[in-house]
Structure 1
Amino acid sequence: MKRYFFFLISLFLTSYCWSQNPVNKDSVTQLDEVILLDALRTKNTIGLTPSEIISARAFQNYSPVSIVPAMNQIPGVYVFSGALNTNRITIRGIGSRTLFGTNKLRMYYSDIPITDGSGFSSIEAFDLENLSQIEVVKGPKSTTHGANLGGAIILGPKEALGVSTNFSNNLTVGSFGLFKNNLSFNHYNGKLRVGLQYSRMKTNGYRENSKFERDGLLLNTSYQINTKNNISLLVNHIDFTAQIPSSLGATAFAENPQQATFTWRAAQGFEDNNYTLVGLNLVHQFSNTFQNSTSIFYNYLDKEEARPFGILEEITKGYGLRTLFSGNFNFNNRGAQYTFGGELFKDEYDWDEFENRYEENDGNGSLKGNQFARNKEFRNQWNAFGTLLIPFSEKFSTQLGLNINKTQYDYRDLFNARSDNKSADRNFKAIVLPNLMLDYALTNNHKIYTNISRGFSNPSVEETLTPDGVINPDIAQETGMNYELGTLLFFDEKRLKIDISLYQMRINNLLVGERIDEDRFVGRNAGKTRHNGLELGLNYTWDVSKNLQIAPFVNYTFNDHSFLEFNDEGVDYSGNALTGVPKVTGTTGLQLRLFQHFYWNTTHQYVSTIPLTDTGDLDSDSFSIFTTRMGYLKKLGTNFTVGVDFGINNLFDSVYTQSVLINTQGFGGREPRYFYPGDARNYYGSIRLGYKL
């Protein structure tokens, strides 16, 4: 911990001593053109709502294989990654008790919602190289994006810069049999914008039974019909197959972190996903002060997952509509803004389960046996929202927001013809979610803000069912209040940027997963939690000369999250630390650019111990991970660009846990499995070719 602290201070003090003129940016390959894009908000976030953006500046620190390292650079955000296909995003501790996958937040691809009807989002379905940026709203501050307790994540597709036509190809190879190729075409002629990307990735993985293979196709196109109308089409298709090594117990982790869990290795467990998202958007300008953006969308997921205890086959079909009206008007000789709109989402979830007779398959892995479950659930959800931003003076503004959510689940057991669960409906009451934002500019370069907002989270499918597979009539939505105070400060002609946030969230009706079998869980409401936290972000740009730029950064998170009231089967855990949340996380880094062509970025991630049990008697070990990446990008004439990159992950070959499970139990005399090992030191290199017409 001391080493991390001194490293953090030294980076900051060293960088603050100097300043010159900025280095020009190259805009040929979409690598450098957004290097200074990171800001407080983008067009996706309306009004005063603070958000954090990661783009090329953060992406270039890490391998193009995974989104996770770049997202972990954001203060207040921590992504547990059991494998490339198993990620759990937590924001300010929200989502830490979700056992697998990401819920309790809303995710959007441009203006298209990609969170399913039960609240789950899959970041692994999207290729990092197809994104221009990732915007994160922490906590329920974004009225127009669902007011979920965890917040919202908005993924931005790449687009051509200015009037241009570009082709590029990036080939990456590396350790563990890594092969990744991304072919991209971007065109814009003033009216028609086309972005088309195809990517393919294969890797054997660090652990046993961890092969991963993915193909993806993305089409993002728009057309300016006239001065008042713009229409756009988004198509994203991902097909991936991923083997599952699963979690390890402490003994197995210490002996050999590369091994897969015995039963998952014997069953050759895997998941096969075929995912398609289609969205159509129309923007209409009614006048200079009033416009509407309306999207209709459809998504389809066909998934098979072979687990030792059963083979799961899922089909999810969803569709919906999102409309947003926005405008401005004169208030006290200043521009006031307003928005209002709604979002309607429906999906149908079908899942069948079969016996897995892998033990009878002569060592060939999973073998489908008799069916023992057939289920269907219809999920409906709508949000109505509105905001009003009023600038009372040049320095002081306020924003009022209101979101109303209504959710309904209709579950049907089609395998067991029993009257108690043949048709079971869970109709949650409409929930009202207000939001108040105050913003005060101390100077042109310094401002403070405060936010009070109410948020909610819906239970997942598993959490709504009892151990007998019927709807649990007592399960309730999580609700909570968020109180936040933050600053945005610029110094030294805006070369130094400092973000500081203090927050407290109080969550009622905490949803917890209770293990009822080796890999079966149900949910229940178990109490209240308090989430206190401090987040700090420092970024400095030191232009040593015309040809040399050094940009250090420091991102730090302190979490003080605990149970306020938590009584589980007569045992009182009130006052204990919230399970599954590291107390401290931090990322420091140094980015160097030389002669506009060469770069070298090095980062250090620190994660403190994580409580693994509600009793607080077991923690994971803290760890530090260093990464480094360097590259060279050069124009060859007026049309061609060539670049090479080389990187090392886990530079000092640390043994660490990349993800954990909480409150797990051992069954049949076996050791509880808490740990997902992180990758050992590994290498990768890339060759980038670009052509501009």
Structure 2
Amino acid sequence: MNKKSALLFIFFIIPQTYIYAQQPDTLKGDLGEVVVTGYEGNRSVMETPGAIANVQPARITGFDEGSLLYGLNTIPGVRIEQRAPGSYRVAIRGSSLRSPFGVRNVKIYWNDIPFTEPSGSTPLNLLDVINMQEVEVIKGPAGSIYGAGNGGVLLLESRQSSENEVGAGTMFGSYGLQRYTAFAQSQFEDGNFRFNYSNQQSDGYRDQSFFNRETAELSGQFQLNDKQIIKTSFLYSDLYYGIPGPLTEEQFEQDPTKARQGNPFALGSVEANASIDQQAFLAGISHDAQISENISNLTTIYGTFSSFENPFNLDYKKDSRKSGGGRTRFYFDTDIGEVRTRFTVGGELQSANYAARNFENDSSEVGALNFDDEIQIRSSLVFLNTEIDLPNEIYFTAGLSYNRLEYNLNRLVTNLPDDNTGLAEKTFDPEIIPRVALLKKFSPALSLHGSMSYGFSPPTIEEFRTNEGSIALDLEAEQGVNYEVGARGTLIGPRITYDITTFFFKLDETIVQQPSDRNSTVIFENTGSTDQYGLEAALNWAILRNNSAFLQQLDWGVSYTFHDFEFKDYQKEGEDYSGNKLTGVAPHILVSTLNAKTQGGFYGSLAYNFTDEIPLNDANTVYSEAYHLVQTKVGFQQQILDNFSLDIFAGIDNLLDEKYSLGNDLNAFGGRYYQPAAPRNWFGGVKLNFDL
């Protein structure tokens, strides 16, 4: 047995789980106490029919506080990739791994505000971890409440407790990592507010992988009277990061630190200064009103403004973006006989206007204009949801939504051959999205649930209007139906919790990329269908709780994802790929974590991630290698004075020094599949908190 295998064997046979240094001594994780907001239920997860997970702050920041990857990748069925330090790709049940453009196919809300743009793409990289103190994950189509998105929904919340305190922190690490954070929160008679600030920068492991982001957030809550609450959220984000680009297998093996090199058809990433430079401001306000004893309303309105600049290997893109909209829902709670019932009716409206220009990239400078477009996007949905608490602790949910999406593009100028100016309009067929779910709670320690839901994902604006200039008027929405059953509960009191779900998802009209005749870019088209079978399981075991012993807390947690996804009917460029494995999806992923806390304030964490080999092209002729990723963190936390606390920590990422790609380019032109991740690297920092 070699050294690496011995370490993994020891790690597997030791019981382990997620326990966090800031947790109180009482047990957390009792599913009966976890309240989720998904599907507008605001009820215990043990009474919520659906695959849903609540991610507490300590899990999100359990390792490297500068990244979302470590916390969210512990959730079975969820995979976050990072092709560059600022470039996330989020997939729930493999939903968007085939997308070349960041986060799509997943609907995201931040502080009740629709953070996903009307086109379906989400600039998740504008948010820092400090802006996401709690995350709720809904897996599978949730269009009956939230609209487009076959993958699922992320509900992000930045607000914490309403205590009076201030804090600051700093972190340093490999490859020039520097991170500075500060916050202040205050409670007053009729409300509270919180200010969050972050500044993170690094040089990056690879050439052209620099990263610099600064965020400032101000959130508040104000009690107008006994029946009305106002919540406000303001966010400014200034993001600038490099895009090193993918490598071929030979380049990946020879020198993974290099950026993509140039050729006669495209500039190299360094020469082009391939990067994203984006500044954005978001403002939102929510009004929560108890209209009568049985009727309440929650309404949110928001607006965003951003400038977007993207020099790339093939062109230079500059956008000015404005969007806004709102979401409202009315709740009617009543008893029909002895049956508790809640009706929810609401709607969501989003509108966006882009001034989008694509230029030649003249060695990192703006070159000749290729085309200039004005784009208007309108999306809307209305929904109705019913929750019925039947006798014998049976919970029934049924929902329905009506969805519309429209693109209007006015090409003002074009210098492309065979291209014309003028209007191009695309109104997608209205989508009616149903969901039915049932849960039976057998005891406080066991509940079984099942559901059937329909979903759809229209093409994003980047797929409708490509960088090479074509407009895909024939492109239609992906459509799918999902069936799932699951069980969740506890064993040995609340010490062991488990959540297991199996599902079958059938996707039609899959959007795939095809090579373009223009400057080596890609276009998109609908083709074929996929069959997706899966099992997702999570288990947490609070092994030890003893405040009088040296080792006060020890817990074990493991999550396992099995995805058997394949093309059912898929022809491409004269080839038949039916029966092939779905590109970009690992069949097996296992994540296990061990955390402990001792007397005196010392704590430690150890995490292991196994990701199976991944098919990188539709023909299944190229696979990434499976990898074993180990991360560790130790720290010391102590109350220095009555109102002053100190937290010192250090950690190592990729402890085994694995050579792997975290964020592959699928069906890549020229065989450039690989986005190398950093080898063994370290970080360390300190946090200070002061109670006012």
- Please state which band the TM-score falls in when normalised by the shorter chain: over 0.9
In structure 2, the residue matched to 1:409 is 407
Whichever residue aligns with residue 80 of structure 1, its letter is E
Partner of 1:375: 373
Determine if contact 2:406/2:425 at 8 Å carries over to the other structure: yes
Distance 1:507 1:524, change over 3 A: same
Partner of 1:165: 164
Contact 1:498/1:538 (<8 A) preserved: yes
Change (3 A) 1:304 1:398: same
Question: Partner amino acid for 1:641?
Answer: S
Q: Does 1:437 align with 2:474?
A: no
Question: CA–CA distance in 2 between the matches of 1:146 and 1:518?
Answer: 35
Q: Distance in 2 between matches of 1:621 and 1:468?
A: 32
2:630–2:656 CA contact under 8 A, matched in 1: yes
More displaced stretch, 469-478 vs 614-623: 469-478
* Distance in 2 between residues matched to 1:446 and 1:564, nearest whole Å: 36
SS at match of 1:659: coil
Kept after mapping to 2: 8 A contact 1:383/1:403? yes
Match of 1:669 in 2: none
RMSD: 2.4
Question: 1 CA distance for matches of 2:631 and 2:17?
Answer: 20
1:30-429 map, 5 Å: 36=29, 41-47=35-41, 48=48, 49-141=50-142, 143-146=144-147, 148-161=149-162, 164-262=163-261, 263-358=268-363, 366-416=364-414, 422-429=422-429
Q: How many residues align structurally? A: 669
The 5 Å alignment of 1:565-580 reads 565-580=569-584
CA shift for structure 1 position 595: 2.5
Change in 2 beyond 3 A, CA 1:368/1:657: same
Name the residue aligned to 2:44: none
TM-score computed with the length of structure 2 as normaliser: 0.92
- Structure 1: which amino acid aligns with 2:127? F
SS of the counterpart of 1:677?
Answer: coil
Deviations 1:149-208 (A, max 9, x none): 0111111103234xx310000111111111101100011234221010111111111111
Q: Which amino acid aligns with 1:493?
A: G
Does the Cα contact within 8 Å between 1:84 and 1:124 map onto a contact in 2?
no
Q: In the alignment, residue 37 of structure 2 is paired with which amino acid?
A: K
The 1-side partners of 2:277 and 2:228 are apart by: 40
Please show how residues 271-670 of structure 1 align to structure 2 within 5 Å.
271-358=276-363, 366-416=364-414, 422-465=422-465, 469-516=469-516, 520-546=521-547, 547=549, 548-595=552-599, 597-666=601-670
CA distance in 2, matches of 1:478, 1:248: 30
Give SS of 1:57's match.
Answer: helix
Structure 1 residue 315: deviation in Å? 1.4
Residue in 2 that maps onto 1:688: 687
Deviation per CA, 1:212-239, whole angstroms, max 9, x where unpaired?
1111100111110101111111011110
- CA separation in 2, counterparts of 1:640 and 1:402? 51
Task: Determine helix, strand or coil for the equivalent of 1:543.
Answer: strand
Shift of 1:594: 1.4
Q: Assess, with a 3 A threshold, how the Cα gap between structure 1 residues 426 and 128 changes in structure 2: closer, same or farther.
A: same
Evaluate the alpha carbon distance shift between residue 499 and residue 398 of structure 1 in structure 2; reply closer, same or farther with a 3 A threshold: same
- Displacement of 1:502: 0.2
Matched residue SS, 1:225: strand
CA distance in 1, matches of 2:398, 2:659: 48
Q: Unaligned stretches of 5+ in structure 2?
A: 42-47, 262-267
Unaligned runs of at least 5 residues, structure 1: 17-21, 359-365, 667-671
- State the Cα distance separating 1:598 from its structure 2 match: 2.2
Q: Distance in 2 between matches of 1:551 and 1:685?
A: 24
- The farther-off stretch of 148-157 and 514-523 is 514-523
Residues 549, 87 of structure 1: CA spacing in aligned structure 2 closer, same or farther, 3 A cutoff?
same
| In structure 2, distance between residues paired with 1:135 and 1:159 | 15
**SS of alignment partner, residue 660 of structure 1:** coil
- Tell me the distance in 2 between the aligned counterparts of 1:434 and 1:596: 54
Letter paired with 2:558? V
* Cα-to-partner distance string for 1:502-560 (whole Å, 9 max, x where unaligned): 00100110001113256522110011011110001001112242251111100000010
Q: Which is further off, 374-383 or 324-333? A: 324-333
CA contact (8 A) 1:448 1:487 kept: yes
Change in 2 beyond 3 A, CA 1:596/1:109: farther
State the Cα deviation string for residues 109-131 of structure 1 (Å, max 9, x = none): 02100111211012211111232
**Which TM-score applies when normalising by structure 1?**
0.92
Structure 1 residues 129 and 25, CA gap change in structure 2 (3 angstroms)? closer
* C-alpha deviation, 1:586, in angstroms: 1.4
Q: Compute the displacement of 1:300 (Å).
A: 1.6
Cα deviation, residue 82, structure 1? 0.5
Q: Could you tell me how far 1:46 is from its partner in structure 2? A: 2.1
1:299 counterpart letter in structure 2: T
Report the CA distance between 1:41 and its aligned residue: 4.6
Equivalent position SS for 1:657: coil
Q: CA deviation at 1:473?
A: 3.2
The aligned residue for residue 19 of structure 1 is none
Percent same amino acid among aligned pairs? 26
Q: Which amino acid aligns with 2:489?
A: L
Partner residue, 1:363: none
Amino acid in structure 1 at the alignment position of 2:603: Y
Per-residue deviation, 1:354: 1.7
Letter of the 1:499 counterpart: D
User: Partner letter of residue 374 of structure 1?
Assistant: D
How far apart are the structure 1 equivalents of 2:166 and 2:392? 45
Tell me the distance in 2 between the aligned counterparts of 1:24 and 1:682: 23
Letter in 1 for 2:427: N
CA contact (8 A) 2:17 2:540 kept: no
User: What SS class does the counterpart of residue 206 from structure 1 fall into?
Assistant: coil
Q: For residues 212 and 34 of structure 1, do their structure 2 counterparts lie closer, same or farther at Cα, with a shift above 3 Å needed? A: farther
Contact 2:371 2:469 in 1 (8 A): no
On the 8 A contact 2:105/2:148 being kept in 1, the answer is no
Kindly provide the amino acid, as one letter, of the partner of residue 430 in structure 2. A
Letter in 2 for 1:438: L
Distance 2:11 2:478 in 1: 37
